Amino acid sequence: MISKSLEEYLKTMYVLKKQNGKIRVTDIAKKMNCSKPSVNKAIYNLKDNELLNYESYGTIELTTKGEDLAKKILEAYDIIYLFLKDVLNLEEKQAQEEAEKIKSAITDETINQLAKYVHKVLDLKSLDCDYDINKERCRSCERRKVSKVAKGSGFIWQH
């Protein structure tokens, strides 16, 4: 298990890859408001965990394992973000900031319960929703979950 801090780096890399097609130290540092040496350390740490491939001055490429984990992390983030923004009515920016911090604090079990709840609350027609964070599709309403990475995150269930 990697640390919550490393998870943040991994998530950011995944998003940058989707947004820019490439992952650069400077861009990570900017996005995460940290120094480049911090990013560098994180890279080698993630590499040790086989979550990405990297050689000095080379390009950062997430491994399959890394990408899978990143998706899971991003989805958890999205669920919390959605709850904060659409249920608690926080401002988008604050919802983003807080979602990161909350995600870094709680267990998968709690995220899963929150996911179910958000799913229910945002669509009251499926009060008996069977949504599970580990499944691709809700058995009750047949929606699929789709993560919208491109602009500012947020995630949706699509028919």
Partner DNA sequence: ATATAATGTTAACCGAAACTAACAAAAGGA
Partner DNA sequence: TCCTTTTGTTAGTTTCGGTTAACATTATAT
Type of residue at 93: K
Angle at 50 between CA 47 and CA 51, to 5 degrees: 80
Q: Are 144 and 158 in contact (CB under 8 A)?
A: yes
Give phi and psi for 62, each to the nearest 5. Answer: -70, 140
State yes or no: residue 6 binds DNA (CB under 7 A).
yes
Q: How far is the CB of 123 from a second copy (least distance, A)?
A: 16
Q: Are 115 and 83 in contact (CB under 8 A)?
A: no
Distance of CA 15 to the CA centre of its chain: 8
Which one of a second copy, DNA, none interacts with residue 136, CB within 5 to 8 A by kind?
A: none
State yes or no: residue 79 binds a second copy (CB under 8 A).
no
Say how far apart CA 81 and CA 113 lie, in whole Å: 14
State yes or no: residue 4 binds DNA (CB under 7 A).
yes
State yes or no: residue 31 binds DNA (CB under 7 A).
no
Of 59, 64, 60, 72, whose CA–CA distance to 7 is shortest?
72
Give phi and psi for 158, each to the nearest 5. Answer: -115, 145
Choose one: 9-17, 41-49, 98-106, 150-158; the region binding a second copy (CB under 8 A). 98-106
Kindly identify the residues of this chain, within the stretch 43-72, that bind a second copy according to CB under 8 A: none
Q: Are 12 and 27 in contact (CB under 8 A)?
A: no
Q: Which residue lies nearer to DNA by CB, 107 or 158?
A: 107
Choose one: 8-16, 18-26, 99-107, 135-143; the region binding a second copy (CB under 8 A). 99-107
Which one of DNA, a second copy, none interacts with residue 53, CB within 5 to 8 A by kind?
A: none
> Which residues of the chain form contacts with a second copy (CB under 8 A)?
84, 87-90, 94, 98, 101-102, 104-107, 109-110, 113-114, 117
Residues that bind DNA (CB under 7 A): 3-6, 24-27, 33-38, 40-43, 45, 54, 56-58
